[in-house]
Amino acid sequence: MATRIAPSLPARLSSRRAWTTAGLLIPAYGWLTLAVFLPLGAMLFFSFLKAAPFGDRPLVFTFDQYLAFFRRPYLFDVAWRSIELGLWTTGLCALIGLPAALALARATRGRARQVLFLLIILPFWTNGLVRIFSWTIVLREGGVLDQALHLVLPSAPGLSLLYSYPAIVIGLVHAYLPYMILTCYLSVAAIEDSVVEAARSLGARTPAIFWKIILPLSLPGLVSGAILIFVPVIGSFMEPRILGGRIGVTMGTVIEDQFTQAFNWPLGAALSFIMLAVVLLIFGLTSRILPGRVASF
């Protein structure tokens, strides 16, 4: 742009370079535009329509879909339940995952640590659906858990946890726990032994060391783990459906219904964007707490 008159050699080189850069980038970003960004735009457009413009139905713009959320109290309940599910899952993952990460970093070494590390991340690369299905065999009435309980206590009543709220939480914790262990491990492993030793030589006891040193220093790991878990959990629909049965109504299942059962695409689109707004809000809030973390992900 700058050297319109008599382009010098470096300018010509840099313009060739710009073309190369563009050529390298266009396939990937073109694909993402076609398959992610344009669809999200289309969905935003749909969320302001009265009805999906198929056949010869006219385009009628309205805010009704968004207002529907505020007009129907049950949707508020459903949204709150989804958030609650997210909080339970994230909280339990933190309670189980941080000690596990600490143990991995401080109580194991060498080959054993590598093997444990691999064992922990392995299930999370296997199909999520298959893992949720596995839980149905364990938790259902007369399932493996009940049968095992009967072997120990023959007179105990069956637990039959399947199709209950705890079943959904168990399945989700199982699905997302590896994220928390991984992110916490990255923080915990960076804590230098000398810091802990210094505190100990100055007379700090183990609880004080945990609260004053370990916990504050593992906060970045806890927060990034919490984001990685909370966001997909509030959007989950397969886990609540399979493990919760009739009681597994979440924002995710309501949105899925709009697209597969009710065919009310504009309402589904509006609900999706309300959920997306919540997700963006969470990213926005946490990127303040964690400067550079989310951006460098």
Pick the binder of other proteins from 85, 89, 128, 223 (CB under 8 A).
Answer: 128
Tokens of 255: 């949105």
Residues 89-108 that bind other proteins (CB under 8 A): 96, 99-100, 102-104, 106-108
Per CB under 8 A, 17 contacts other proteins: yes
C-alpha to C-alpha distance for 53 and 65, rounded to whole angstroms: 15
Helix (H) or strand (E) holding 161: none
Per CB under 8 A, 9 contacts other proteins: no
**Cβ neighbours of 166 (radius 10 Å):** 14
C-alpha to C-alpha distance for 106 and 88, rounded to whole angstroms: 27
C-alpha to C-alpha distance for 239 and 133, rounded to whole angstroms: 9
For the CB of residue 68, give the shortest distance to other proteins in the complex, in Å. Answer: 17
Task: Tell me whether residue 199 or residue 231 sits nearer to other proteins (CB atom).
Answer: 231
For the chain, the C-alpha Rg in angstroms (whole number) is 25
Per CB under 8 A, 164 contacts other proteins: no
Per CB under 8 A, 144 contacts other proteins: yes
Helix (H) or strand (E) holding 261: none
For the CB of residue 259, give the shortest distance to other proteins in the complex, in Å. Answer: 5
- End-to-end, the C-alpha distance of the chain in Å comes to 34
CB 168, CB 85: distance < 8 Å: yes
Task: Tell me whether residue 6 or residue 167 sits nearer to other proteins (CB atom).
Answer: 167
Q: Which stretch binds other proteins (CB under 8 A): 69-77, 83-91, 190-198, 228-236?
A: 228-236
Per CB under 8 A, 78 contacts other proteins: no
Longest dimension (CA), the chain: 94
Q: Which stretch binds other proteins (CB under 8 A): 55-63, 188-196, 258-266, 284-292?
A: 258-266
Residues 170-199 that bind other proteins (CB under 8 A): 174, 177-178, 181
